[in-house]
Amino acid sequence: MKQHHIFVFVLLVCSIALFVSQAQGTKTYRSEEFMLDKPSGLDHQQFNCNNITCWMSNDGLIVSQRVTGTAGLEWPKGSGKTADFCSGLWIIGKGPDGFLRSACSEFNSELCPGTIGADPEAPENRIYKINSDGTGDWNDWPFDLGAPALKAKDGSDSLDSYGNRIPRLYGDQTLWWVMNDADPEPHFNLFCAGPMELEIHVLAFGFDETGPLADMLFYEWMICNKSQMSYDSTYIGLWDDPDLGASTNDYVACDPALNLGYAYNTPYDEMYMGRPPAYGFKLLMGPHIGSATAPQQLHMTSYTYFYLGAPEPWSDPLFAPEAYNYLKGRGSDGTPRRDPEGNITVFPLNGDPVTGEGHLLGENEFSDYRFIVSSGPISLEPGDMQTIRAVKILAQGQNNLESVALLKKHAKLAQNFHDQFFHLADVGKPLVMLEFMDAQPGIQISWNDLTKVYPQNGLELLGYKLYQVIDGNLAELASFDVKDGITEIIEMVDDQEVILYSGDENGLATSTKVTVDKSTGEPLVYGYTYSYFLKAFIHNTTATGMDRVITNDMEAINYTYLPVGYEGAFYAKHSQHNGDGEVLVMITDPKLMNNHHYKLSFDGPIGKLNMKLVDVSTGHIIYHDVLNDVKFDSLGFRLIVHNRLGIKAWDWDGDRWVTGVNWGGGGFFGGLDIGLHFLGSTLPCEELVPIHVEFQDIASVDHDGYWSKGAVYRYDLDYSYAGIGDLPLAAFDVSDSLNPRKLNICFVEHDSLVSPNKLWDMGWNGVDYPDYIGAREYLFVMSSDYSEGDGYDDANNGTSADVLYGLWPAQRGNHPYLEAEFNMDIIPSLGLSDKDVFEFTASLLNIEKPRITNPEHFALLQNYPNPFNSQTTITYNIGKQTHVTIEIYNLWGQRIKTLVDEKKDIGIYTITWDAPSRPSGVYFIRLLTSGGYHQVIKTVLIK
């Protein structure tokens, strides 16, 4: 009965919280919310032993955004590029009273550090970390809390020479912590269900190895039901919010045969350029069902996905029933998923992006997705234990689809490795992993060191042979033989000698350099794909006959030979600069890059430009047609033209009581753009000018009357002219700041929820507004001199005549109409014109990083170097003109330095922090803008 009351109380509180959140605006899941809402007493540690760096928290976030305020998983390590925003485990089941109970970690968590009943803020309830080099918490390993100990062959604890237990190190770095969900209060953070009283031991580990293992992060959850309740129909899910570079250009999919949910990217990403990786979250070992004598392991039983800002039932869940439906592979309201043929499925998006076959997202359906790999249902009885294992995998090919193919190959490898590592399968055939790198000239090929695996159980490593695979045939490149006195192993088969192995005692290696293509005898060529196979030979000392030598199956690994730093794209040089824009050269076929020099120019009026591409090396005109993204298949590249015609910057001063309704505009939260991009305009784009808009308050209206009169048009009457109305605002052309020119303003009314009154008031009735979209009372700032709207009518329709800017305003939060005076400034971007010229050379060696002159987003990039000694450089992107503050904080949250405190135009900036007098330690760099953007990154000073 007590538990039931707790659940009802939680549900009541969460219902109130939901009502408040809906009244105040849309729920968000980005850095501003989480940095401000970071719970006290939590410990965050970073996995960082291989190519992955990943922040985790001891309340269950296995990828945590809290430390940085941005994505919690960086890949490759030290690059500043990120692939996964946040991730955690979901567990939801039905209690004996029929109510759902949950223990979930999402952007926040329902769990607390420590065992049940322990003080979550006690120092021992932190994350413990040990490394293979002997550093870390070896001496503080919490065996008493259940941390794993090294075991002897008989199953007992191994002891050191002093009789002490030894921590169990998995891989080259292991993180461990314990947590529980028994406290009802953290359940307010998420799904508002009662606690399950589970205690969960979490293990995260990885390997500092050559090849795919360097791009994997393994997890294990040991789940124990410490309650006295039985949970029926329980589901366990791997929840993830992947952000491969930019957060809004991802696709997601699943592969049920691999127990894999994954994300992949559009062909181009601002962070990863033309070679975006693929990211996967794979279930390695699901929960077990059945009896002790007939156990059965569950695999992935369903998969679902949803996305930020989606309509119901495909948006982020707020309550346990919604999350529970997602765990069952349905929509949040229980709506079943369907494949393209209309059949119900629990594995949507299980097609193949590489071939384009099967159920997949459409080309334009990229977004900010989340996905869940689920397994269930199971029963959890009091005292029951379940062990779940999973792995995160990153894979990068030459392009976005090649990355998907590589990810799936590595997912199979991860399962084989897991099964051998945890002795779920015999060692059997050796597991070989290759890694490639440009050696200038040639390719450096490395592989995993099998001396870490052998000898064991009568199996001994003999050596390796490296081959180039040419049309299915093997051409030997190099061999490496253990110095063990064995140069040949020969068996008689049908009275014939068969050489099972031969070597020349030259010693082992784990890498070699290849410079020649065996098929031609010529040096390797950039842009070409070569195939290689490393064969490992294992001596089975207990076998006879052909079984005396074990080898791995022949599997060719393809590698496209590319220069170091190659990112699949580069920006053309803006050699003659007038307007705002960039030209991105996307490499589609490296083999066809001809090293010719190209020049791109434009002709025609702004807004209706043609573009002309000339091969300067030959003088040929390659293209002369409308401005567009064009793929030149025969030349091996594609041009993507970013014409920045639109809004360059906007800002405000004062207490703004309106916001923008996001119709896809370039400013004002999507509610503002030039007239051409709104309902159209007859104004030549060359005549766009910066404007200053002043909004009145109630006192000003009472004292001065309305500052402007303008033409009114009716939305419900197909934008027909309705007369002259009043506006509590005025707009000015400030291209000559000393002589501002007052402009005409037109607006729209809609006879729907409120009656038209020829007053721009967004439907305000003195108390509230009729809707959240400003009653569709659009504003149109015209280019003409102010005339109280005279000259605008049906013939010269002000919604599409000489419109400078179109705005769709609405109420901002709970701010009332005419709350305060405030001003807005709008600056246009004229885009490209016939005075702009771009140049580039079609070469794979053109690997210069892009210089984005007009970044579309704010970003605080990772400082370099990091860690640093006394001095480091900080780079930050400003997406619109605003006031910018960059500050340095120490580990105790004290501000110790302000580096920037001024208004900045759109652009990319760098600042140097000199810290010669500061002690070694962890510091935080904080970017804050007047528009509310907030980001924090961590840096380490080492002297």
Query: Same domain, yes or no, for 335 and 373?
Result: yes
Strand partners, 912: 873
Residue 789 located in a structural domain:
yes
Neighbouring C-beta atoms of residue 425, cutoff 10 Å: 12
In this prediction, residue 22 carries a pLDDT of 33
Residue where the block lists tokens 């900080």: 874
In this prediction, residue 844 carries a pLDDT of 79
Residue 848 located in a structural domain:
no
**CATH code of residue 449:** 2.60.40
Cβ(779)–Cβ(745) under 8 Å? yes
In this prediction, residue 41 carries a pLDDT of 62
Question: What pLDDT digit, counting tens, does each position of 508-560 carry?
Answer: 999 999 999 999 999 999 889 999 999 999 999 888 888 899 999 999 999 99
Question: What pLDDT digit, counting tens, does each position of 728-742 carry?
Answer: 999 999 988 889 999
**End-of-domain residue from the set 525, 560, 595:** 560
In this prediction, residue 696 carries a pLDDT of 98
The arithmetic mean of pLDDT across residues 57-81, rounded, is 92
In this prediction, residue 24 carries a pLDDT of 30
Q: Residue-wise over 121-143: b if at least 16 C-beta within 10 A, else e?
A: eeeebbbbbbbeeeebbeeebbe
Q: What mean pLDDT value characterizes the chain?
A: 89
What percent of the chain has a predicted confidence (pLDDT) above 70?
A: 93
Counting the structural domains of the chain, the total is: 5
On the question of pLDDT at 9 being above 50, the answer is no
Question: What pLDDT digit, counting tens, does each position of 283-333 carry?
Answer: 999 999 987 677 799 999 999 999 987 888 999 999 999 999 999 999 999
On the question of pLDDT at 12 being above 80, the answer is no
402 φ, ψ (degrees, to nearest 5): -65, -30
Of 247-251, 471-475, 830-834, the least confident: 830-834
Instruction: Break the chain down into helix, strand, coil percent, rounded to 5.
Output: 10, 45, 45
Query: Same domain, yes or no, for 619 and 508?
Result: no
The arithmetic mean of pLDDT across residues 382-407, rounded, is 96
In this prediction, residue 30 carries a pLDDT of 32
In this prediction, residue 943 carries a pLDDT of 67
**End-of-domain residue from the set 370, 405, 440:** 405
Of 26-40, 404-418, 896-910, the least confident: 26-40
In this prediction, residue 4 carries a pLDDT of 34
In this prediction, residue 791 carries a pLDDT of 96
pTM to 2 decimals?
0.75
Identify the domain containing residue 533 by its residue range.
428-560
**CATH code of residue 885:** 2.60.40.2550
Q: How far is CA 104 from CA 108, 218, 260, 370, 394, in A?
A: 9, 19, 20, 15, 25
The arithmetic mean of pLDDT across residues 491-503, rounded, is 87
On the question of pLDDT at 922 being above 90, the answer is no
Identify the CA nearest to 349 among candidates 376, 371, 377: 371
Cβ(646)–Cβ(579) under 8 Å? no
**End-of-domain residue from the set 405, 436, 453:** 405
State the DSSP code for 42.
-
Strand partners, 136: 130
Residues 331, 336, 339: CA angle, nearest 5 degrees: 110
Of residues 684 and 804, more confidence is placed in 804
Confidence of residue 643 (pLDDT cuts 50, 70, 90): confident
Residue where the block lists tokens 């970690």: 105
Residue 132 located in a structural domain:
yes
Cβ(140)–Cβ(235) under 8 Å? no
Residue 5 located in a structural domain:
no
Query: Same domain, yes or no, for 294 and 318?
Result: yes
Amino acid at 431: L
Of 488-492, 677-681, 820-824, 903-907, the least confident: 903-907
On the question of pLDDT at 32 being above 60, the answer is no
Radius of gyration of the chain (CA): 32
Residue 422 located in a structural domain:
no
Residue 555 located in a structural domain:
yes
716 φ, ψ (degrees, to nearest 5): -75, -10
Query: Same domain, yes or no, for 579 and 698?
Result: no
Query: Same domain, yes or no, for 325 and 472?
Result: no
677 φ, ψ (degrees, to nearest 5): -90, -5
- Residue 12 zone, left/alpha/beta (φ > 0; ψ -120 to 50; rest): alpha
Identify the CA nearest to 90 among candidates 382, 390, 386, 374: 374
In this prediction, residue 855 carries a pLDDT of 58
Residue 22 located in a structural domain:
no
Query: Same domain, yes or no, for 535 and 601?
Result: no
Residue where the block lists tokens 């701010």: 815
On the question of pLDDT at 38 being above 70, the answer is no
On the question of pLDDT at 942 being above 80, the answer is no
The arithmetic mean of pLDDT across residues 703-717, rounded, is 97
In this prediction, residue 242 carries a pLDDT of 97
Beta pairing, strands 708-714 & 741-749: parallel
Query: Same domain, yes or no, for 626 and 674?
Result: no
Query: Same domain, yes or no, for 447 and 505?
Result: yes
In this prediction, residue 10 carries a pLDDT of 39
Three-class SS of residue 318? coil
Query: Same domain, yes or no, for 548 and 577?
Result: no
In this prediction, residue 534 carries a pLDDT of 97
Of residues 853 and 351, more confidence is placed in 351
Query: Same domain, yes or no, for 817 and 905?
Result: no
In this prediction, residue 425 carries a pLDDT of 67
In this prediction, residue 590 carries a pLDDT of 87
Residues 219 and 216: their CA atoms lie apart, in Å, by 10
Confidence of residue 866 (pLDDT cuts 50, 70, 90): confident
Query: Same domain, yes or no, for 652 and 615?
Result: no
Q: Which two tokens stand for residue 392?
A: 């995160």
Residue 24 located in a structural domain:
no
Question: What pLDDT digit, counting tens, does each position of 97-143 carry?
Answer: 999 999 999 999 999 999 999 999 999 999 999 999 999 999 999 99
Question: What pLDDT digit, counting tens, does each position of 577-621 carry?
Answer: 877 888 999 998 888 888 999 999 999 987 788 999 999 999 999
Query: Same domain, yes or no, for 597 and 628?
Result: yes
The arithmetic mean of pLDDT across residues 470-497, rounded, is 91
